[in-house]
Amino acid sequence: MKKSAIVLAAGSLLAGSAFAQSSVTLYGIVDQSIRFQTNSSANNDNSWELTNGAVTNSRWGLKGSEALGNNLKAIFQLENGFDPDTGRANQGGRLFGRQAYVGLSGDFGTIKLGRQYTEGFNFFGDYDPLTIGNYTNNAWPFFLTNFRNDNVVSYGGKFGGLDVGASYGFGEQPGSMSQNQYWGARAAYTYGPFGIGGVYQEVRNTTGQKQQMWGAAGKYSIGPAKIFLGYIGGQDRTGSVDASLNFTGGATQNPVPAGGNFAANPRKDTIGYIGMTYQATPALALTGVFYGDYVENVNGVNDNNGRRYTGVLLAEYSLSKRTQVYGTVDFNKVSGGTITEMPGRNNQTGAAVGIRHIF
């Protein structure tokens, strides 16, 4: 994604010294789709909606840098997520809910301080065929990554084919280092057409209970095609994963069983996926992916196990370097304990068409 820069200032650091150049870039994506979905209520009604994009969520942001000499730069990024159909802000109405950080970048790598993506999200953004989707129906495996975290100090570096990252989120809870805490680490290596890597992270809630995720993935490029294979594992004693996936759109949806205890019976996910992207023409890209999950102790109930399967097809066509149109189809099916992730029947089929503009 190429973005034009607006040069704001260039000033003298010291008398007789060279000029340091500072730049700020305004950028964004506006992405809207018309989506149809079956079994969207407890009565198994179909639904039509105008909603955010299938893969990319709409956003606008500011980012900038200042050259400090010796290949060292000061950097910042502020990014807002929004819904074009209503104009409302995402991420709970935050002004810069997607990213908000300042840092330094140089030959040693990059250090950032602020609200940032988690290491799980950073890793699988490169190793998922959809680069992590935007609908719940095509992105649910990556809810385990938590997407973003507050109060984070991170490091990232690239050295030849090696790409590494580590981050720590301060819990900021007086008297405790472990409550609200986050930390994660990732590493990936690219050699020619091959790429492989892994990630591990932990997020703690206000009582210190852990939600852990780990994963490994690989990719291989052959001509215009790229093949992906990945694994995501998780154990959640906080209840956050079930809370984010359970359908809560009405009083008569599939009921959550009583008596759940997440600390004693943590949810455990074992997710595998395989997929491929294919650049059919310079303008047309095709993607297909299948995800499968075996879940234990759903909703904190011992031996309440279940499965979820998802298949997604996506076609994207570039009208220009900045504008694409696309169509997508997805199918989801749940069984056993994961039935609470659907409002009525145990399956949903979705289809959408949309347009994305990048600026």
Model pLDDT for residues 302-348, shown as the tens digit of each residue? 999 999 999 999 999 999 999 999 999 999 999 999 999 999 999 99
* Complete domains list, the chain, with CATH: 6-358 (2.40.160.10)
Cβ contacts of 356 within 8 Å, gap of 6 or more: 29, 30, 31, 53, 56, 323, 324, 325, 326
| Confidence at residue 249, expressed as pLDDT on a 0 to 100 scale | 76
pLDDT tier at 15 (50, 70, 90 boundaries)?
very low
DSSP 31-100: EEEEEEESS-STT---EEEEEE-SS---EEEEEEEEEEETTEEEEEEEEEEB-TTT--BSGGG-TT-SEE
Sign of the dihedral through C-alpha 318, 37, 274, 31 = positive
DSSP 122: H
pLDDT at 21 exceeding the cut of 80:
no
d(CA 121, CA 218): 15
pLDDT at 78 exceeding the cut of 90:
yes
Residue 1, judged by CB atoms within 10 A of its CB (0-12, 13-18, 19+), counts as: exposed
Condensed to tens digits (0 to 9), the pLDDT of residues 54-67 reads 999 999 999 999 99
Cβ contacts of 17 within 8 Å, gap of 6 or more: none
| Confidence at residue 97, expressed as pLDDT on a 0 to 100 scale | 98
Share of the chain above pLDDT 70, in %: 94
pLDDT tier at 1 (50, 70, 90 boundaries)?
very low
pLDDT tier at 178 (50, 70, 90 boundaries)?
confident
Torsion of CA 228, 117, 300, 333, to 10 degrees: -40
Averaged pLDDT score across all residues of the chain: 93
Alpha helix (H) ranges present in the chain?
A: 119-127, 136-139, 240-245
Would you say 10 and 21 are in contact if contact means Cβ atoms under 8 Å apart? yes
Bridge partners of 339? none
pLDDT tier at 20 (50, 70, 90 boundaries)?
low
Condensed to tens digits (0 to 9), the pLDDT of residues 82-108 reads 999 999 999 999 999 999 999 999 999
Q: Which amino acid appears at position 269 of this protein?
A: D
pLDDT at 17 exceeding the cut of 50:
no
Condensed to tens digits (0 to 9), the pLDDT of residues 218-238 reads 999 999 999 999 999 999 999
Backbone angle region of 66, left / alpha / beta, with phi > 0 → left and psi within -120 to 50 → alpha: beta
pLDDT at 18 exceeding the cut of 60:
no
User: Angle at CA 223, nearest 5°, toward 271 and 318?
Assistant: 80
d(CA 311, CA 4): 37
| Confidence at residue 8, expressed as pLDDT on a 0 to 100 scale | 29
Among 4, 63, 1, CA closest to 29? 1
d(CA 202, CA 310): 26
| Confidence at residue 22, expressed as pLDDT on a 0 to 100 scale | 87
